[in-house]
Amino acid sequence: MITWIVSNIGTIVVALIVAGVLTAIVISVVRDKKAGKSSCGCGCANCAMKGQCHKER
């Protein structure tokens, strides 16, 4: 088991980094969604779908 880990340490480190980045992205998207921010970043004023994704309150 130890020899397998040692021989694949580069792959394991890269996989952990990618998993960390993906986790950070998901957390950011969830926080933005809860805060009511737009996912595209350009605002909803000129969006063709503005009435669909953010219903009037």
Would you state the structure tokens that stand for residue 30, as one six-digit string?
């969830």
Share of the chain above pLDDT 90, in %: 51
Average pLDDT over residues 19-39: 88
The residue ranges of every structural domain in the chain are: 2-53
Question: Does 22 have pLDDT greater than 80?
Answer: yes
Q: Which residues contact 54 (CB under 8 A, 6 or more apart)?
A: 36, 44
Would you state the structure tokens that stand for residue 4, as one six-digit string?
């397998």
Question: Does 51 have pLDDT greater than 60?
Answer: yes
Share of the chain above pLDDT 70, in %: 74
Question: Does 56 have pLDDT greater than 80?
Answer: no
Cα distance between residue 8 and residue 14, in whole Å: 10
pLDDT of residue 41: 61
DSSP reduced 3-state for 13: helix
Cα distance between residue 8 and residue 51, in whole Å: 50
In the Cβ-directed half-sphere of 39, how many Cα atoms lie within 13 Å?
10
